[in-house]
Structure 1
Amino acid sequence: MKVLCVAAHPDDEALGAGGTLAKHAAEGDEVEVFLVSDGAMARYEQETETAMERRAERRAEAETAADILGVSNLTVLDYWGNQLDDVALIDIVRDVESKIDSFQPNVIYTHHYGDLNIDHELVARAVRTAARPTTDSPVDRILSFETLSATEWGMPSADNAFQPTTFVDIDEYLTQKMNAINAYESEMRDRPHPRNPDGIRNNAKVWGDKSGLLAAEPFELLLERR
């Protein structure tokens, strides 16, 4: 099986699906991660030397996390983080389509469409468009994941709430997930904040309790073809 994770920024893949990606890799599936931006440039107005150094750091962190999770290939595009709404959506769709064409994934994990972060919302939309169920599409499943500090902070409404339908047992891979998250130390926060290491670990256990597992990652199923 070929598995593709499409995310907006480095650390989103580890936060949302790190344990699941590690499980896929351990079970012999080919796993790739496709990041639409490095997430660093959102904090800078110009490509200064400091900005470029931070960009390189974020990409290095992503490489480290990918190695920890067993990801076979990592792609990071050059869009500026948190500014994807300044880009024509069709451009992002075409980038994702190109990746799908070259890799031919069977399963895609991506953001939830109701996230507060605009980049997450647009990446989810681009994936859903690029992986629409045409007869020649290799994609049989699309699942959206929760990203702490973006999903639960979204604008609440009945039609965009995160309603997970699939729970993946990551008890054996929780340490691996946390090691990947620790590669993004600069993006972690102290309590009380959803993106603190203890909170991330406990969140997996809470989802496990809700689904009859010791630790779990939740997903909302967007497409399934059998």
Structure 2
Amino acid sequence: MSNVIVVSAHPDDEVLGAGGTLLKHVAKGDQVHWLIITNVLEEYGFSAERVKSRQEEIVEVATKMGFTSTIKLDYPTMLLHPGMIIDMVPKISDVFHQVKPETIYVMNRSDAHSDHRVIFDAVVACTKSFRYPFIRKVLMYECLSETEFAPALPERVFMPNYYVDISEYLEKKLEVMEIYESELGPHPFPRSLDNIRALAHFRGASVGTHYAEAFQLIKFIDKQ
């Protein structure tokens, strides 16, 4: 059994990018923790009804995924900027020291959404081996509607080099994704169930499995 944490800028990132892999962790008996950095808040223009429905979605997703814990930092969604990193790092650090994850899943560093990019920098600041000796592996995941829309610059492109066979877990991933009804749309909308399945099919075909999720490994420490 190992401790795993998945970092979401917004609820739905975790299912889109790593849902099948996280379900596989849970099935193996791993403790999977969910860190959500932003939230919808009334003071930033969201209705009380939407705030309530979002919290209900989070609870339902966490239950269906089998997460061990859900931690919310409640930064305002869509308003993150690099100046917030100095405030964000100590909070993420506290979570990491509490959970002691061996494996961290985080959004791609060059996603189109600025929230993703800011959070990536804050998370990576909390992976130094001399301060977080329990961390063994750090992986970036791709997030439909963000990763593929980022500028394809050579130094920033998402380069998958780590694949997880999720053939047994894809249908459950799609079922959980349907909880985020407001985030889905019909094909060719990027976050359609058809597109989620198609990406998993393509990633699986790349490595000889039916369905897979792809990651970019940015750190691996073998202490066995």
Fold match, TM over 0.5? yes
Equivalent-residue separation in structure 2 for 1:98 and 1:64 (angstroms): 25
Contact 1:140 1:225 in 2 (8 A): yes
Structure 2 letter corresponding to 1:103? V
Structure 2 letter corresponding to 1:168? V
Cα deviation for residue 86 of structure 1 reads 6.7
Query: 1:184 aligned to 2:180?
Result: yes
Which of the numbers 102, 108, 111 marks the counterpart of 1:106?
102
Residues 69-111 of structure 1 show CA distances to partners (whole Å, capped at 9, x for unaligned) of 1111111221111111175212111111011010101000010
Query: 1:10 aligned to 2:6?
Result: no
Equivalent-residue separation in structure 2 for 1:179 and 1:67 (angstroms): 13
Cα deviation for residue 224 of structure 1 reads 0.5
Task: Indicate the SS of the match to 2:200.
Answer: helix
Counterpart for residue 220 of structure 1: 216
Contact 1:17 1:145 in 2 (8 A): yes
Counterpart for residue 152 of structure 1: 148
Contact 1:111 1:120 in 2 (8 A): yes
Deviates more, 1:63-72 or 1:114-123: 63-72
Equivalent-residue separation in structure 2 for 1:220 and 1:183 (angstroms): 27
Equivalent-residue separation in structure 1 for 2:35 and 2:67 (angstroms): 11
Cα deviation for residue 47 of structure 1 reads 4.6
Flag as ranges the 4+ runs of structure 1 deviating above 4 A: none
| TM-score normalised by length of structure 2 | 0.94
Task: Indicate the SS of the match to 1:78.
Answer: strand
Equivalent-residue separation in structure 1 for 2:142 and 2:132 (angstroms): 29
Task: Indicate the SS of the match to 1:127.
Answer: helix
Counterpart for residue 35 of structure 2: 34
- Taking a change above 3 Å as real, the CA distance of residues 54 and 220 of structure 1, as seen in their structure-2 partners, is same
Alignment of 1:1-226 (within 5 A): 1-38=2-39, 40-41=40-41, 46-47=43-44, 51-85=47-81, 87-134=83-130, 136-226=132-222
Contact 2:3 2:100 in 1 (8 A): yes
- Taking a change above 3 Å as real, the CA distance of residues 137 and 53 of structure 1, as seen in their structure-2 partners, is farther
- Taking a change above 3 Å as real, the CA distance of residues 157 and 47 of structure 1, as seen in their structure-2 partners, is closer
Equivalent-residue separation in structure 1 for 2:48 and 2:93 (angstroms): 28
User: How many aligned positions are there?
Assistant: 221
Cα deviation for residue 200 of structure 1 reads 0.6
Cα deviation for residue 136 of structure 1 reads 4.5
Residues 105-141 of structure 1 show CA distances to partners (whole Å, capped at 9, x for unaligned) of 1000010001000011111111111112226421110
Contact 1:68 1:179 in 2 (8 A): no
Structure 1 letter corresponding to 2:106? T
In structure 2, runs of 5+ residues without a counterpart are: none
Contact 2:184 2:193 in 1 (8 A): yes
In structure 1, runs of 5+ residues without a counterpart are: none
Equivalent-residue separation in structure 1 for 2:214 and 2:38 (angstroms): 24
Contact 2:44 2:76 in 1 (8 A): no
